[in-house]
Amino acid sequence: MLSREEVKQDLLRLKEIAIKHMAPGTSGAIHKEVIDGIELNVFSHIPQTLGEVYRLGLEISDRDFLVYQDERFTFGETYDLASKLARILIGHYDISAGDRVAICSRNNPQWCIAYMAITMIGAIVVPMNSWWTGREMKYPLEDSGCKLLIADQQRIDRIRPFLDSLDLQIIAIKPDSGQSFPEFHQLIEEKECTDINLADVKVSADDSASIMYTSGATGLPKGVLSSHRNITHSLYSWLFAKEINDILRPELVEENPPFEPSILANVPLFHVTGCNAQFLACFVNQRKFVMMYKWNAEAALRLIEQERITVLHGVPTMTWEIMESPDFEKTDLSSLRSVQSGGAARPPEHLALMLKKFPAMAIPGLGYGLTETSAIGAIITGKFYQANPRSTGRPVPPVTQIKIVDEHGNTLGTEQVGDICIKGPCVMKGYWNNPEDTRAVLKDGWFHSGDIGMLDDLNFLTILDRAKDIVIRGGENIGCAEVEYAIAEHSAVSEVSVYGIPDNRLGEIPCASVMLKPEKKLESDELKIFLKNKLAQFKIPEHIFFQYEQLPRIASGKIAKKQLREQVIAQTS
Protein backbone atom coordinates (compact mmCIF):
# COMPACT_ATOMS: atom_id res chain seq x y z
CA MET A 1 0.00 0.00 0.00
CA LEU A 2 1.24 3.50 -0.84
CA SER A 3 2.12 5.84 2.02
CA ARG A 4 0.66 9.34 2.08
CA GLU A 5 3.95 10.75 0.83
CA GLU A 6 4.10 8.19 -2.00
CA VAL A 7 0.53 9.11 -2.99
CA LYS A 8 1.60 12.77 -3.20
CA GLN A 9 4.58 11.90 -5.38
CA ASP A 10 2.48 9.74 -7.70
CA LEU A 11 -0.11 12.50 -8.00
CA LEU A 12 2.61 14.96 -9.03
CA ARG A 13 3.77 12.51 -11.71
CA LEU A 14 0.16 11.98 -12.82
CA LYS A 15 -0.33 15.75 -13.11
CA GLU A 16 2.76 16.03 -15.32
CA ILE A 17 1.50 13.16 -17.49
CA ALA A 18 -1.96 14.75 -17.79
CA ILE A 19 -0.52 18.13 -18.82
CA LYS A 20 1.45 16.48 -21.64
CA HIS A 21 -1.55 14.34 -22.61
CA MET A 22 -3.79 17.37 -23.14
CA ALA A 23 -1.28 19.60 -24.92
CA PRO A 24 -2.42 21.21 -28.19
CA GLY A 25 -2.38 18.74 -31.05
CA THR A 26 -2.61 15.66 -28.83
CA SER A 27 -5.63 13.34 -28.66
CA GLY A 28 -6.44 14.64 -25.17
CA ALA A 29 -6.14 18.33 -26.06
CA ILE A 30 -8.66 20.69 -24.47
CA HIS A 31 -9.81 24.25 -25.03
CA LYS A 32 -12.33 26.63 -23.51
CA GLU A 33 -15.79 27.03 -25.03
CA VAL A 34 -18.89 28.95 -23.97
CA ILE A 35 -21.93 26.65 -23.83
CA ASP A 36 -25.31 28.08 -22.81
CA GLY A 37 -23.51 31.08 -21.35
CA ILE A 38 -21.08 29.01 -19.25
CA GLU A 39 -17.37 28.80 -20.08
CA LEU A 40 -16.19 25.19 -19.90
CA ASN A 41 -13.11 23.17 -20.72
CA VAL A 42 -13.91 20.76 -23.56
CA PHE A 43 -12.00 18.19 -25.59
CA SER A 44 -10.67 19.54 -28.90
CA HIS A 45 -10.34 16.37 -30.96
CA ILE A 46 -13.05 13.89 -30.00
CA PRO A 47 -16.21 12.86 -31.89
CA GLN A 48 -18.84 15.58 -31.65
CA THR A 49 -21.87 13.30 -31.81
CA LEU A 50 -22.87 9.78 -30.88
CA GLY A 51 -23.16 8.90 -34.55
CA GLU A 52 -19.44 9.60 -34.92
CA VAL A 53 -18.76 7.46 -31.83
CA TYR A 54 -20.63 4.52 -33.35
CA ARG A 55 -18.46 4.66 -36.46
CA LEU A 56 -15.42 3.87 -34.31
CA GLY A 57 -16.72 0.31 -34.21
CA LEU A 58 -16.22 0.01 -37.95
CA GLU A 59 -12.45 0.04 -37.32
CA ILE A 60 -12.91 -3.47 -35.90
CA SER A 61 -15.95 -4.34 -37.98
CA ASP A 62 -15.57 -8.13 -37.82
CA ARG A 63 -15.08 -8.43 -34.05
CA ASP A 64 -17.91 -9.53 -31.78
CA PHE A 65 -19.76 -6.63 -30.16
CA LEU A 66 -23.24 -7.47 -28.84
CA VAL A 67 -23.57 -10.87 -27.18
CA TYR A 68 -26.78 -12.06 -25.53
CA GLN A 69 -27.58 -15.73 -24.97
CA ASP A 70 -27.57 -17.26 -28.49
CA GLU A 71 -27.49 -13.88 -30.28
CA ARG A 72 -24.16 -12.49 -31.43
CA PHE A 73 -23.55 -9.39 -33.55
CA THR A 74 -20.25 -7.94 -34.76
CA PHE A 75 -19.54 -4.21 -34.67
CA GLY A 76 -20.17 -4.07 -38.40
CA GLU A 77 -23.45 -5.97 -38.25
CA THR A 78 -24.66 -3.79 -35.39
CA TYR A 79 -23.86 -0.58 -37.24
CA ASP A 80 -25.57 -1.88 -40.37
CA LEU A 81 -28.76 -2.79 -38.48
CA ALA A 82 -28.80 0.54 -36.64
CA SER A 83 -28.37 2.42 -39.93
CA LYS A 84 -31.24 0.51 -41.53
CA LEU A 85 -33.50 1.18 -38.54
CA ALA A 86 -32.48 4.86 -38.58
CA ARG A 87 -33.66 5.18 -42.20
CA ILE A 88 -36.92 3.41 -41.31
CA LEU A 89 -37.54 5.81 -38.43
CA ILE A 90 -37.26 8.71 -40.87
CA GLY A 91 -39.01 7.21 -43.89
CA HIS A 92 -41.67 5.02 -42.30
CA TYR A 93 -42.35 6.63 -38.91
CA ASP A 94 -41.67 10.28 -39.82
CA ILE A 95 -39.20 10.71 -36.96
CA SER A 96 -37.09 13.83 -37.31
CA ALA A 97 -34.56 15.78 -35.29
CA GLY A 98 -35.80 16.54 -31.79
CA ASP A 99 -38.61 13.96 -31.82
CA ARG A 100 -38.70 11.65 -28.81
CA VAL A 101 -38.57 7.87 -29.17
CA ALA A 102 -38.76 5.63 -26.11
CA ILE A 103 -37.18 2.23 -25.47
CA CYS A 104 -38.58 -0.03 -22.77
CA SER A 105 -37.22 -3.54 -22.63
CA ARG A 106 -34.96 -5.80 -20.64
CA ASN A 107 -31.33 -5.76 -21.78
CA ASN A 108 -30.92 -7.20 -25.28
CA PRO A 109 -29.16 -6.34 -28.58
CA GLN A 110 -32.32 -4.74 -29.96
CA TRP A 111 -32.22 -2.15 -27.14
CA CYS A 112 -28.71 -1.15 -28.18
CA ILE A 113 -29.48 -1.06 -31.90
CA ALA A 114 -32.57 1.08 -31.26
CA TYR A 115 -30.60 3.54 -29.10
CA MET A 116 -28.03 3.92 -31.86
CA ALA A 117 -30.62 4.41 -34.60
CA ILE A 118 -32.56 7.06 -32.67
CA THR A 119 -29.52 9.15 -31.80
CA MET A 120 -27.97 8.80 -35.28
CA ILE A 121 -30.75 10.93 -36.78
CA GLY A 122 -30.87 13.65 -34.14
CA ALA A 123 -33.98 12.30 -32.43
CA ILE A 124 -34.03 12.07 -28.62
CA VAL A 125 -33.96 8.63 -27.03
CA VAL A 126 -36.03 8.07 -23.88
CA PRO A 127 -34.69 4.96 -22.07
CA MET A 128 -37.48 3.84 -19.76
CA ASN A 129 -37.26 1.77 -16.59
CA SER A 130 -38.32 -1.75 -17.55
CA TRP A 131 -39.40 -2.42 -13.95
CA TRP A 132 -42.14 0.20 -14.17
CA THR A 133 -45.81 -0.72 -14.15
CA GLY A 134 -47.99 0.41 -17.06
CA ARG A 135 -49.17 3.42 -15.08
CA GLU A 136 -45.59 4.38 -14.30
CA MET A 137 -44.67 4.00 -17.99
CA LYS A 138 -47.50 6.29 -19.02
CA TYR A 139 -46.12 9.39 -17.29
CA PRO A 140 -42.73 9.70 -19.08
CA LEU A 141 -44.32 8.81 -22.41
CA GLU A 142 -46.76 11.70 -21.96
CA ASP A 143 -44.27 14.06 -20.33
CA SER A 144 -41.67 13.65 -23.07
CA GLY A 145 -44.25 13.58 -25.88
CA CYS A 146 -42.93 10.36 -27.41
CA LYS A 147 -44.07 9.54 -30.94
CA LEU A 148 -42.83 5.95 -30.91
CA LEU A 149 -42.16 3.22 -28.35
CA ILE A 150 -39.79 0.30 -29.00
CA ALA A 151 -40.60 -2.34 -26.39
CA ASP A 152 -40.57 -6.03 -25.63
CA GLN A 153 -43.72 -8.09 -25.08
CA GLN A 154 -43.91 -7.72 -21.31
CA ARG A 155 -43.69 -3.93 -21.50
CA ILE A 156 -46.23 -3.82 -24.34
CA ASP A 157 -48.65 -5.81 -22.19
CA ARG A 158 -48.18 -3.34 -19.34
CA ILE A 159 -48.79 -0.22 -21.41
CA ARG A 160 -51.65 -1.68 -23.46
CA PRO A 161 -54.46 -0.47 -21.11
CA PHE A 162 -53.21 3.11 -21.57
CA LEU A 163 -52.66 3.15 -25.33
CA ASP A 164 -56.00 4.81 -26.10
CA SER A 165 -54.85 7.93 -24.26
CA LEU A 166 -51.42 7.97 -25.92
CA ASP A 167 -50.69 9.08 -29.49
CA LEU A 168 -48.06 6.40 -29.86
CA GLN A 169 -46.74 3.96 -32.43
CA ILE A 170 -45.04 0.75 -31.28
CA ILE A 171 -42.29 -1.52 -32.58
CA ALA A 172 -42.20 -4.90 -30.83
CA ILE A 173 -39.03 -6.67 -29.66
CA LYS A 174 -39.44 -10.45 -29.62
CA PRO A 175 -43.26 -10.38 -29.54
CA ASP A 176 -45.55 -13.30 -28.86
CA SER A 177 -47.20 -14.91 -31.86
CA GLY A 178 -50.25 -13.01 -33.01
CA GLN A 179 -48.89 -9.63 -31.89
CA SER A 180 -50.26 -6.87 -34.13
CA PHE A 181 -47.28 -4.49 -33.84
CA PRO A 182 -44.36 -4.67 -36.31
CA GLU A 183 -41.57 -6.98 -35.15
CA PHE A 184 -38.15 -5.34 -34.80
CA HIS A 185 -36.00 -7.42 -37.17
CA GLN A 186 -38.79 -8.17 -39.62
CA LEU A 187 -39.42 -4.43 -39.93
CA ILE A 188 -35.75 -3.83 -40.74
CA GLU A 189 -35.83 -6.53 -43.42
CA GLU A 190 -39.08 -5.38 -45.05
CA LYS A 191 -38.92 -1.56 -44.82
CA GLU A 192 -35.31 -0.72 -45.49
CA CYS A 193 -35.91 2.81 -46.96
CA THR A 194 -32.72 2.72 -49.06
CA ASP A 195 -33.58 6.05 -50.70
CA ILE A 196 -32.72 7.92 -47.47
CA ASN A 197 -29.08 9.00 -47.13
CA LEU A 198 -28.06 9.30 -43.47
CA ALA A 199 -25.14 11.51 -44.51
CA ASP A 200 -27.71 14.21 -45.20
CA VAL A 201 -28.85 14.18 -41.55
CA LYS A 202 -27.06 16.92 -39.64
CA VAL A 203 -26.53 16.51 -35.90
CA SER A 204 -24.42 18.82 -33.73
CA ALA A 205 -22.66 18.43 -30.39
CA ASP A 206 -25.17 20.46 -28.40
CA ASP A 207 -28.28 18.85 -29.88
CA SER A 208 -30.32 16.91 -27.33
CA ALA A 209 -29.62 13.17 -27.35
CA SER A 210 -31.32 11.56 -24.35
CA ILE A 211 -33.97 11.97 -21.66
CA MET A 212 -33.37 9.61 -18.74
CA TYR A 213 -36.02 9.69 -16.03
CA THR A 214 -34.62 9.63 -12.51
CA SER A 215 -36.91 8.80 -9.62
CA GLY A 216 -35.65 11.03 -6.83
CA ALA A 217 -36.94 10.76 -3.29
CA THR A 218 -40.47 12.07 -3.77
CA GLY A 219 -42.86 13.16 -6.48
CA LEU A 220 -42.89 12.30 -10.17
CA PRO A 221 -39.71 11.27 -12.00
CA LYS A 222 -37.65 14.05 -13.58
CA GLY A 223 -36.39 13.73 -17.14
CA VAL A 224 -32.65 14.40 -17.33
CA LEU A 225 -31.99 16.01 -20.73
CA SER A 226 -28.48 15.32 -22.03
CA SER A 227 -26.78 16.51 -25.21
CA HIS A 228 -24.45 14.60 -27.51
CA ARG A 229 -21.60 16.64 -26.02
CA ASN A 230 -22.59 15.63 -22.47
CA ILE A 231 -22.38 11.95 -23.36
CA THR A 232 -19.33 11.96 -25.64
CA HIS A 233 -17.37 13.89 -23.04
CA SER A 234 -18.21 11.31 -20.41
CA LEU A 235 -16.87 8.53 -22.66
CA TYR A 236 -13.64 10.34 -23.41
CA SER A 237 -13.12 11.47 -19.82
CA TRP A 238 -13.01 7.79 -18.76
CA LEU A 239 -10.66 7.04 -21.66
CA PHE A 240 -8.38 9.96 -20.72
CA ALA A 241 -8.24 8.75 -17.10
CA LYS A 242 -7.30 5.24 -18.26
CA GLU A 243 -4.63 6.46 -20.65
CA ILE A 244 -2.79 8.64 -18.12
CA ASN A 245 -2.99 5.91 -15.48
CA ASP A 246 -1.53 3.43 -17.98
CA ILE A 247 1.42 5.80 -18.43
CA LEU A 248 1.80 6.12 -14.66
CA ARG A 249 1.64 2.33 -14.16
CA PRO A 250 3.41 0.87 -17.26
CA GLU A 251 3.92 -2.42 -15.41
CA LEU A 252 0.17 -3.07 -15.75
CA VAL A 253 0.04 -2.51 -19.52
CA GLU A 254 0.20 -5.67 -21.65
CA GLU A 255 1.94 -5.29 -25.00
CA ASN A 256 0.11 -8.26 -26.49
CA PRO A 257 -3.05 -8.74 -24.41
CA PRO A 258 -4.10 -12.41 -24.38
CA PHE A 259 -7.79 -11.48 -24.28
CA GLU A 260 -9.77 -9.00 -26.37
CA PRO A 261 -11.42 -6.23 -24.31
CA SER A 262 -14.89 -7.17 -23.06
CA ILE A 263 -17.31 -6.14 -20.33
CA LEU A 264 -20.12 -7.97 -18.55
CA ALA A 265 -23.33 -5.96 -18.89
CA ASN A 266 -24.92 -6.70 -15.53
CA VAL A 267 -26.97 -3.56 -14.83
CA PRO A 268 -30.01 -2.27 -16.74
CA LEU A 269 -29.34 -0.27 -19.89
CA PHE A 270 -31.96 2.29 -18.85
CA HIS A 271 -29.56 3.45 -16.12
CA VAL A 272 -26.73 5.84 -16.94
CA THR A 273 -24.17 3.30 -15.70
CA GLY A 274 -25.44 0.57 -18.01
CA CYS A 275 -25.93 2.92 -20.96
CA ASN A 276 -22.90 5.25 -20.78
CA ALA A 277 -20.24 3.54 -18.67
CA GLN A 278 -20.90 0.08 -20.10
CA PHE A 279 -22.62 0.11 -23.52
CA LEU A 280 -21.50 3.37 -25.14
CA ALA A 281 -17.99 3.19 -23.70
CA CYS A 282 -17.53 -0.04 -25.69
CA PHE A 283 -17.20 1.96 -28.91
CA VAL A 284 -14.41 4.11 -27.49
CA ASN A 285 -12.66 1.15 -25.82
CA GLN A 286 -13.51 -1.19 -28.72
CA ARG A 287 -14.67 -3.96 -26.42
CA LYS A 288 -17.27 -6.72 -26.52
CA PHE A 289 -20.54 -6.13 -24.64
CA VAL A 290 -21.88 -9.32 -23.04
CA MET A 291 -25.42 -8.96 -21.69
CA MET A 292 -27.06 -10.95 -18.90
CA TYR A 293 -30.73 -11.96 -18.81
CA LYS A 294 -30.86 -10.97 -15.12
CA TRP A 295 -28.28 -10.59 -12.39
CA ASN A 296 -27.11 -13.82 -10.82
CA ALA A 297 -23.63 -14.34 -9.40
CA GLU A 298 -23.28 -17.90 -10.67
CA ALA A 299 -24.44 -16.94 -14.17
CA ALA A 300 -22.00 -14.01 -14.12
CA LEU A 301 -19.11 -16.29 -13.22
CA ARG A 302 -20.03 -18.66 -16.06
CA LEU A 303 -20.03 -15.79 -18.55
CA ILE A 304 -16.73 -14.38 -17.28
CA GLU A 305 -15.08 -17.72 -17.97
CA GLN A 306 -16.95 -18.50 -21.18
CA GLU A 307 -16.57 -15.08 -22.86
CA ARG A 308 -13.17 -14.27 -21.30
CA ILE A 309 -14.50 -11.07 -19.76
CA THR A 310 -11.83 -8.45 -18.99
CA VAL A 311 -13.96 -5.86 -17.16
CA LEU A 312 -16.36 -6.66 -14.32
CA HIS A 313 -18.46 -3.61 -13.52
CA GLY A 314 -21.61 -2.88 -11.53
CA VAL A 315 -22.79 -1.91 -8.07
CA PRO A 316 -20.54 -3.07 -5.17
CA THR A 317 -23.01 -5.71 -3.99
CA MET A 318 -22.48 -7.56 -7.27
CA THR A 319 -18.76 -7.88 -6.65
CA TRP A 320 -19.49 -9.05 -3.12
CA GLU A 321 -21.98 -11.68 -4.28
CA ILE A 322 -19.50 -13.01 -6.83
CA MET A 323 -16.82 -13.36 -4.15
CA GLU A 324 -19.32 -15.10 -1.84
CA SER A 325 -20.53 -17.50 -4.54
CA PRO A 326 -19.72 -21.19 -4.04
CA ASP A 327 -18.58 -21.18 -7.70
CA PHE A 328 -15.98 -18.44 -7.22
CA GLU A 329 -12.97 -20.65 -6.48
CA LYS A 330 -13.65 -23.07 -9.35
CA THR A 331 -14.15 -20.38 -12.00
CA ASP A 332 -11.32 -19.30 -14.31
CA LEU A 333 -11.07 -15.53 -13.75
CA SER A 334 -7.68 -15.10 -15.38
CA SER A 335 -9.07 -12.84 -18.12
CA LEU A 336 -10.17 -10.12 -15.66
CA ARG A 337 -8.17 -6.90 -15.83
CA SER A 338 -10.52 -4.55 -14.00
CA VAL A 339 -13.13 -4.91 -11.25
CA GLN A 340 -14.97 -1.59 -11.13
CA SER A 341 -18.02 -0.43 -9.20
CA GLY A 342 -20.24 2.61 -8.93
CA GLY A 343 -23.66 3.71 -7.79
CA ALA A 344 -23.06 3.03 -4.09
CA ALA A 345 -20.32 3.03 -1.49
CA ARG A 346 -18.12 -0.05 -1.09
CA PRO A 347 -17.14 -0.93 2.50
CA PRO A 348 -13.34 -0.86 2.84
CA GLU A 349 -13.28 -4.48 4.03
CA HIS A 350 -14.79 -5.51 0.68
CA LEU A 351 -11.76 -3.99 -1.03
CA ALA A 352 -9.45 -5.99 1.24
CA LEU A 353 -11.26 -9.19 0.28
CA MET A 354 -11.13 -8.28 -3.44
CA LEU A 355 -7.36 -7.85 -3.27
CA LYS A 356 -7.10 -11.24 -1.63
CA LYS A 357 -9.48 -13.21 -3.86
CA PHE A 358 -9.32 -11.75 -7.39
CA PRO A 359 -6.33 -12.31 -9.71
CA ALA A 360 -3.53 -9.76 -9.25
CA MET A 361 -4.15 -8.32 -12.74
CA ALA A 362 -7.79 -7.53 -11.87
CA ILE A 363 -7.35 -3.92 -10.75
CA PRO A 364 -10.05 -2.70 -8.33
CA GLY A 365 -11.76 0.65 -8.81
CA LEU A 366 -14.68 2.79 -7.76
CA GLY A 367 -16.51 5.65 -9.44
CA TYR A 368 -19.03 8.32 -8.52
CA GLY A 369 -21.41 10.09 -10.86
CA LEU A 370 -25.08 10.81 -11.40
CA THR A 371 -27.60 10.68 -14.21
CA GLU A 372 -27.43 14.49 -14.27
CA THR A 373 -23.66 14.36 -14.89
CA SER A 374 -23.66 11.56 -17.49
CA ALA A 375 -22.21 9.27 -14.77
CA ILE A 376 -19.12 11.48 -14.44
CA GLY A 377 -17.81 12.77 -11.12
CA ALA A 378 -14.89 11.12 -9.37
CA ILE A 379 -12.89 7.96 -9.98
CA ILE A 380 -10.27 5.95 -8.11
CA THR A 381 -8.36 2.79 -9.05
CA GLY A 382 -5.46 0.56 -8.14
CA LYS A 383 -2.90 1.74 -5.59
CA PHE A 384 -4.66 5.07 -5.03
CA TYR A 385 -7.78 3.12 -4.07
CA GLN A 386 -5.85 0.80 -1.76
CA ALA A 387 -4.36 3.85 -0.02
CA ASN A 388 -7.77 5.60 0.23
CA PRO A 389 -10.39 2.83 0.62
CA ARG A 390 -13.07 5.19 1.96
CA SER A 391 -12.68 7.66 -0.90
CA THR A 392 -14.52 7.59 -4.21
CA GLY A 393 -11.56 9.28 -5.89
CA ARG A 394 -10.54 12.55 -7.48
CA PRO A 395 -12.46 14.50 -10.16
CA VAL A 396 -12.38 12.62 -13.47
CA PRO A 397 -9.75 14.41 -15.59
CA PRO A 398 -9.36 16.63 -17.46
CA VAL A 399 -12.60 18.62 -17.87
CA THR A 400 -14.57 17.93 -14.67
CA GLN A 401 -14.42 20.01 -11.49
CA ILE A 402 -15.78 19.23 -8.02
CA LYS A 403 -16.28 21.56 -5.11
CA ILE A 404 -18.01 21.38 -1.72
CA VAL A 405 -20.43 24.12 -0.66
CA ASP A 406 -22.41 24.95 2.45
CA GLU A 407 -26.18 25.58 2.64
CA HIS A 408 -25.63 29.17 1.45
CA GLY A 409 -23.57 28.15 -1.59
CA ASN A 410 -20.23 29.22 -0.15
CA THR A 411 -17.26 27.10 -1.24
CA LEU A 412 -15.78 25.14 1.66
CA GLY A 413 -12.17 24.23 2.33
CA THR A 414 -10.52 20.84 2.68
CA GLU A 415 -12.00 18.40 5.18
CA GLN A 416 -15.16 20.51 5.48
CA VAL A 417 -18.47 18.71 4.95
CA GLY A 418 -21.10 20.01 2.56
CA ASP A 419 -22.98 19.56 -0.71
CA ILE A 420 -20.98 17.97 -3.55
CA CYS A 421 -21.13 20.13 -6.72
CA ILE A 422 -19.91 19.12 -10.17
CA LYS A 423 -19.09 21.28 -13.20
CA GLY A 424 -18.06 20.33 -16.71
CA PRO A 425 -19.32 19.50 -20.21
CA CYS A 426 -20.86 16.24 -18.93
CA VAL A 427 -23.45 18.08 -16.81
CA MET A 428 -26.99 17.84 -18.19
CA LYS A 429 -28.77 20.58 -20.13
CA GLY A 430 -31.54 20.47 -17.52
CA TYR A 431 -34.69 18.65 -16.48
CA TRP A 432 -37.16 18.18 -19.34
CA ASN A 433 -40.17 20.54 -19.04
CA ASN A 434 -39.05 21.44 -15.52
CA PRO A 435 -37.28 24.82 -15.36
CA GLU A 436 -37.97 25.27 -11.64
CA ASP A 437 -36.19 22.08 -10.58
CA THR A 438 -33.44 22.83 -13.10
CA ARG A 439 -32.77 26.22 -11.52
CA ALA A 440 -32.69 24.59 -8.08
CA VAL A 441 -29.75 22.34 -8.98
CA LEU A 442 -27.90 24.14 -11.82
CA LYS A 443 -26.21 27.33 -10.65
CA ASP A 444 -23.52 29.06 -12.76
CA GLY A 445 -22.77 25.76 -14.45
CA TRP A 446 -22.41 23.86 -11.18
CA PHE A 447 -24.69 20.90 -10.54
CA HIS A 448 -25.62 20.67 -6.87
CA SER A 449 -25.88 16.94 -6.31
CA GLY A 450 -27.57 16.81 -2.91
CA ASP A 451 -24.89 14.33 -1.84
CA ILE A 452 -22.87 15.11 1.25
CA GLY A 453 -19.10 14.84 1.21
CA MET A 454 -15.72 16.46 1.61
CA LEU A 455 -12.44 16.90 -0.27
CA ASP A 456 -9.07 16.34 1.36
CA ASP A 457 -5.84 18.25 0.71
CA LEU A 458 -5.05 15.95 -2.25
CA ASN A 459 -8.51 16.49 -3.79
CA PHE A 460 -9.77 13.00 -2.94
CA LEU A 461 -13.54 13.01 -2.48
CA THR A 462 -15.21 11.13 0.34
CA ILE A 463 -18.97 10.72 0.17
CA LEU A 464 -20.40 10.74 3.66
CA ASP A 465 -24.02 10.27 2.69
CA ARG A 466 -26.89 11.23 0.47
CA ALA A 467 -28.48 14.45 1.59
CA LYS A 468 -31.76 12.62 2.08
CA ASP A 469 -30.13 9.56 3.60
CA ILE A 470 -29.23 11.06 6.96
CA VAL A 471 -30.95 10.08 10.19
CA ILE A 472 -31.50 13.11 12.42
CA ARG A 473 -31.75 11.78 15.97
CA GLY A 474 -32.57 14.44 18.54
CA GLY A 475 -30.79 17.09 16.47
CA GLU A 476 -27.71 14.92 15.84
CA ASN A 477 -26.99 13.98 12.23
CA ILE A 478 -26.11 10.32 11.62
CA GLY A 479 -24.58 9.34 8.27
CA CYS A 480 -26.05 5.99 7.25
CA ALA A 481 -22.95 5.02 5.25
CA GLU A 482 -20.72 5.40 8.31
CA VAL A 483 -22.93 3.06 10.35
CA GLU A 484 -23.15 0.59 7.44
CA TYR A 485 -19.34 0.51 7.17
CA ALA A 486 -19.04 -0.29 10.88
CA ILE A 487 -21.64 -3.07 10.85
CA ALA A 488 -20.16 -4.60 7.69
CA GLU A 489 -16.89 -5.15 9.56
CA HIS A 490 -18.52 -7.90 11.66
CA SER A 491 -17.49 -11.31 10.35
CA ALA A 492 -21.07 -12.63 10.38
CA VAL A 493 -22.47 -9.83 8.20
CA SER A 494 -22.95 -10.30 4.46
CA GLU A 495 -24.66 -6.98 3.67
CA VAL A 496 -26.44 -4.22 5.56
CA SER A 497 -28.70 -1.22 5.05
CA VAL A 498 -29.19 1.54 7.63
CA TYR A 499 -32.11 3.97 7.63
CA GLY A 500 -34.21 6.07 9.99
CA ILE A 501 -37.75 5.53 11.23
CA PRO A 502 -39.97 8.09 13.01
CA ASP A 503 -39.75 8.40 16.79
CA ASN A 504 -42.04 10.50 18.96
CA ARG A 505 -39.29 11.62 21.34
CA LEU A 506 -36.22 11.97 19.14
CA GLY A 507 -37.77 12.65 15.75
CA GLU A 508 -35.93 9.73 14.15
CA ILE A 509 -33.99 6.71 15.32
CA PRO A 510 -31.54 4.62 13.29
CA CYS A 511 -32.41 1.05 12.31
CA ALA A 512 -30.56 -1.62 10.34
CA SER A 513 -31.50 -4.59 8.19
CA VAL A 514 -28.70 -7.16 8.10
CA MET A 515 -28.18 -10.15 5.87
CA LEU A 516 -26.13 -12.78 7.71
CA LYS A 517 -23.70 -15.15 6.07
CA PRO A 518 -24.87 -18.77 5.79
CA GLU A 519 -24.59 -20.73 9.05
CA LYS A 520 -23.61 -17.59 10.99
CA LYS A 521 -25.60 -16.37 14.00
CA LEU A 522 -25.77 -12.91 15.50
CA GLU A 523 -28.01 -11.20 18.05
CA SER A 524 -28.82 -7.51 18.35
CA ASP A 525 -27.11 -7.09 21.71
CA GLU A 526 -23.96 -8.81 20.45
CA LEU A 527 -23.78 -6.51 17.42
CA LYS A 528 -24.39 -3.42 19.55
CA ILE A 529 -21.50 -4.40 21.82
CA PHE A 530 -19.36 -4.89 18.71
CA LEU A 531 -20.28 -1.37 17.52
CA LYS A 532 -19.71 0.27 20.90
CA ASN A 533 -16.03 0.96 20.22
CA LYS A 534 -16.62 1.93 16.61
CA LEU A 535 -19.49 4.43 16.85
CA ALA A 536 -20.82 7.02 19.25
CA GLN A 537 -23.73 5.58 21.20
CA PHE A 538 -26.33 7.74 19.46
CA LYS A 539 -25.26 6.30 16.08
CA ILE A 540 -25.83 2.65 17.01
CA PRO A 541 -29.12 1.36 15.54
CA GLU A 542 -31.87 0.88 18.10
CA HIS A 543 -33.61 -1.81 16.05
CA ILE A 544 -31.67 -4.43 14.08
CA PHE A 545 -33.41 -6.96 11.85
CA PHE A 546 -31.56 -10.09 10.73
CA GLN A 547 -32.22 -12.36 7.77
CA TYR A 548 -30.38 -14.90 5.63
CA GLU A 549 -32.02 -13.84 2.37
CA GLN A 550 -30.53 -11.11 0.20
CA LEU A 551 -31.85 -7.64 1.01
CA PRO A 552 -34.37 -6.39 -1.60
CA ARG A 553 -33.05 -4.48 -4.62
CA ILE A 554 -34.24 -1.71 -6.89
CA ALA A 555 -33.78 -1.97 -10.68
CA SER A 556 -30.17 -0.73 -10.67
CA GLY A 557 -29.14 -3.49 -8.25
CA LYS A 558 -28.85 -1.19 -5.24
CA ILE A 559 -30.44 -2.18 -1.94
CA ALA A 560 -34.07 -0.98 -1.73
CA LYS A 561 -33.60 1.14 1.39
CA LYS A 562 -36.95 2.88 1.03
CA GLN A 563 -38.77 -0.47 0.90
CA LEU A 564 -36.93 -1.73 3.99
CA ARG A 565 -37.78 1.44 5.88
CA GLU A 566 -41.47 1.19 5.00
CA GLN A 567 -41.57 -2.46 6.07
CA VAL A 568 -40.02 -1.67 9.43
CA ILE A 569 -42.34 1.28 10.04
CA ALA A 570 -45.29 -1.00 9.35
CA GLN A 571 -43.93 -3.65 11.73
CA THR A 572 -43.16 -1.27 14.58
CA SER A 573 -46.20 1.04 14.38
Coil, strand, or helix at residue 500? strand
pLDDT of res. 218: 42
Contact yes or no for 320/351 (Cβ under 8 A): no
pTM of structure: 0.86
Given this model, what pLDDT does residue 298 score? 97
pLDDT at 318: 87
Dist. CA 360–CA 375, nearest whole Å: 27
Task: Determine the residue type at 118.
Answer: I
Q: How far apart are CA 448 and CA 440, in angstroms?
A: 8
Task: List, run by run, the mean pLDDT of 10-residue segments along the chain (573 residues).
Answer: 92 96 94 96 97 98 97 98 97 96 97 98 96 87 97 95 93 89 94 90 97 70 96 98 95 93 94 95 98 93 98 88 94 96 77 93 94 96 93 96 95 95 98 95 95 95 76 72 88 93 81 94 95 85 94 86 90 78
Domains of the chain: 4-45+227-466 (3.40.50.12780), 75-203 (3.40.50.980), 471-572 (3.30.300.30)
pLDDT of residue 482: 81
Give Cβ neighbours of residue 336 (< 8 Å, ≥ 6 apart). 304, 309, 310, 311, 312, 358, 359, 361, 362
**Burial class for 247, CB neighbours closer than 10 Å (0-12, 13-18, 19+):** middle
- Per-residue pLDDT, 344: 67
Reference 117, options 85, 150, 93, 147; nearest CA is: 85
Query: How many whole angstroms separate alpha carbon 188 and alpha carbon 85?
Result: 6
Q: Any idea what DSSP says for residue 277?
A: I
- Residue 122: the pLDDT is 98
